[in-house]
């Protein structure tokens, strides 16, 4: 009998989210394709620096700027 390892129910100590996912979640863009275009065009700044990697991992407190708007990465509670 092979035992399946159980997942740790605790959240990661340092949660991250990819830049393209954040842009969709924050409502900056409606689709991942549009997020990719913005990022690759150099129109997104993370902590004041132009970011062209859509897989860039954002951490709590990071600041994302697009087209005059600014969003800060934060952790909200999710309930079932």
Question: Is 21 a residue whose pLDDT tops 50?
Answer: yes
Which is higher by pLDDT, 68 or 3? Answer: 68
pLDDT per residue over 48-60, tens digit each? 999 999 999 999 9
64-68 own/partner pairs: CB under 8 Å, 24+ apart: 64/19, 64/22, 64/23, 64/26, 64/28, 66/23, 66/28, 66/38, 67/43
Mean pLDDT on 22-43: 96
pLDDT of residue 79: 46
Please, what are the domains in the chain?
A: 16-72 (3.10.290.10)
Question: Is 6 a residue whose pLDDT tops 90?
Answer: no
Q: What's this model's pTM, rounded to 2 decimal places? A: 0.77
Distance (Å, whole) CA 40 – CA 54: 8
Question: Where does 26-80 have alpha helices with state H?
Answer: 32-40
């Amino acid at each position: 009998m092979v035992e399946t390892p159980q997942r740790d129910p605790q959240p990661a100590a340092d949660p991250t989210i990819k830049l393209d996912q954040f842009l969709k979640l924050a409502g900056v863009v409606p689709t991942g394709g549009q997020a990719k275009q913005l990022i690759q065009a150099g129109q997104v700044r993370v902590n004041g620096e132009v970011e062209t990697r859509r897989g860039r991992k954002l951490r709590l407190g990071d600041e994302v700027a697009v087209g005059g708007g600014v969003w800060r990465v934060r952790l909200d509670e999710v309930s079932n």
